Amino acid sequence: MKVDIIAPTKHKKYRLINVAAYARVSDAKDAMLNSLAAQVEYYTAYIQGTPGWSFAGVYTDKGITGTKSDRPEFQRLIADAKAGKIDKIVTKSVSRFARNTVDLLDTVRMLKELNIDVFFQKENIHTLSGEGEVMLTILASFAQEESKSVSDNCKWRIRSGFKEGRINALTMSGYRRSDDGSFTVVPEEAEVIRTIFNMCLDGKGCQSIANFLNEHHKASRCNGQWSPSGIR
């Protein structure tokens, strides 16, 4: 009797998916930085603990608003994705990734062309899914409007303070701020400020004024050299 020998099954090898996470906080205060550290810890464990995933790193931007597309770590993330180092990106929400609708959609579409999925956990959206881009357009619009609303509220609060005689700045040459929010004049600094304004009225430029003050050893508030931007 002929016996057929059954060859052992060959197991197909699957390549692990390189997954990276992106986290961002818009303020560099201690509470925010602690939150960022917690996010890094969470994403590191989350990615490393998911079968089939390979940890490609956590990219973080500190104290940078989502409306800015020139975030250093965000740009490094995109560069690594283009270089083929990343297959999937995980982030907390649409607003953490970007708040500018145009930048968000341009980035997502570019990544989509590279077959790189972005997963927004809060909204439960995968950009490579059929409904992903439609939902992203809607959510990004809301996020951008929310950011504009926050900005408008801040501007309103500053203008209201000016009307009531309250100054928002904490450090001003020529003044010191007391605990009750009032300002007192610092005589020696005030003289420098008067010199700056008088020279400006005489038609002198910022560089010319800065040179004059430095040559006459008129230090800035922080005892440093004057610069055109400081004069401005």
* pLDDT tens figures, 163-186: 766 666 556 777 877 766 677 888
- The distance from CA 218 to its chain's CA centroid, rounded to whole angstroms, is 36
- Among candidate residues 147, 111, 118, the one with its CA nearest the CA of residue 135: 118
Are β-strands 88-91 and 117-120 bridged in parallel, bridged antiparallel, or unpaired? parallel
d(CA 121, CA 85): 22
Q: pLDDT in tens for each of the 232 residues of the chain?
A: 555 555 555 555 668 999 999 998 876 665 667 788 889 999 999 999 999 999 999 999 987 665 556 789 999 999 999 999 999 999 998 888 876 777 788 888 899 999 999 999 998 989 888 777 777 777 667 666 766 766 676 777 767 766 766 666 556 777 877 766 677 888 888 888 898 899 989 998 889 998 888 888 777 766 678 888 888 8
Side chain identity at residue 93, one-letter code: S
User: Phi/psi of residue 28, each to 5°?
Assistant: -95, 20
Side chain identity at residue 38, one-letter code: A
* Rounded alpha-carbon distances, angstroms, from residue 25 to 66, 77, 204: 9, 16, 42
